[in-house]
């Protein structure tokens, strides 16, 4: 019989053909599973600040802890791709990323300048940035009220751009948060 002479036979042949394609696709997909795809992949290099509690910080013995450490360990477990997490001073972390020595920079705030450099994912947290002043100083209710004061900020922090945009010129930057505590 030729194709078209027997509708039942044509239907059976079509079903068998479809099943062969389905089996072939399943076998192909098994070879392209996420675990197989990342088995030979280089580690994902992530750079971040080393002092941004509770997201990331160092313990007394220098070990990294925080939400980000846990999140990247979980990501590595789920994807099968190894993660190398480098935590350093924030300005250094940005230089590492700009030099192409990292694939991802975590805890970076989105600014117009940074949008020209990086692709941003949707934020995973909304992080307010408060202003801290000595208890003896009153009346500081917004950024503009800092005019005339010396303001401490972390090198490379997005708040420096915001302070400059608000006309605040008395800014001293530090490698870490420690001198400002």
On the CB side of 31, CA atoms within 13 Å amount to 5
- Fold (topology level) of 41-117: D-Maltodextrin-Binding Protein; domain 2 (3.40.190)
Angstrom distance (rounded) from CA 62 to CA 76: 22
Give the other-Cβ count within 10 Å of 83's Cβ: 19
Is pTM beyond 0.85? Reply is: no
Predicted local distance difference test score (pLDDT) of residue 176: 82
Predicted local distance difference test score (pLDDT) of residue 34: 57
Predicted local distance difference test score (pLDDT) of residue 177: 80
pLDDT per residue rounded down to tens, the chain (181 residues)? 344 555 554 454 444 444 444 444 344 444 455 565 667 899 999 999 999 999 999 999 999 999 999 999 999 999 999 999 999 999 999 999 999 999 999 999 999 999 999 999 999 999 888 899 999 999 999 999 999 999 999 999 999 999 999 999 999 999 888 888 7
Q: Are the C-beta atoms of 73 and 130 separated by less than 8 Å?
A: no
Predicted local distance difference test score (pLDDT) of residue 84: 98
Q: Domain residues of the chain, as ranges?
A: 7-32, 41-117, 143-180
Predicted local distance difference test score (pLDDT) of residue 40: 82
Using only C-alpha atoms, what is the Rg of the chain?
27
Backbone CA torsion sign across 138, 140, 145, 146: positive
List the structure tokens of 125.
Answer: 């947290």
Residues forming beta bridges with residue 49, ordered by sequence position? 88
Q: Is 171 helix (H, G, I), strand (E, B) or coil?
A: strand
């Amino acid at each position: 019989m030729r194709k078209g002479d027997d509708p039942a036979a044509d239907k059976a042949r079509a079903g068998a053909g479809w099943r062969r394609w389905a089996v072939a696709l399943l076998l192909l997909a098994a070879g392209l599973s996420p675990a197989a795809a990342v088995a030979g992949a280089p580690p994902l290099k992530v750079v971040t600040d080393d002092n941004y509690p509770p997201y990331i910080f160092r313990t007394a013995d220098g070990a990294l802890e925080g939400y980000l450490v846990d999140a990247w360990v979980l990501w590595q477990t789920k994807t099968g791709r190894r993660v190398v997490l480098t935590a350093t001073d924030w300005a250094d972390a940005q230089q590492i990323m700009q030099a192409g020595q990292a694939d991802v920079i975590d805890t970076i705030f989105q600014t117009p300048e940074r949008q020209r450099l990086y692709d941003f994912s949707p934020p995973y947290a909304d992080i307010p940035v408060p202003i801290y002043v000595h208890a003896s100083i009153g009346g500081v209710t917004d950024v503009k009220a800092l005019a005339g004061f010396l303001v401490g900020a972390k090198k490379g922090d997005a708040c420096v751009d915001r302070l400059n945009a608000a006309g605040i010129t008395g800014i001293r930057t530090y490698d870490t948060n420690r001198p400002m505590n």
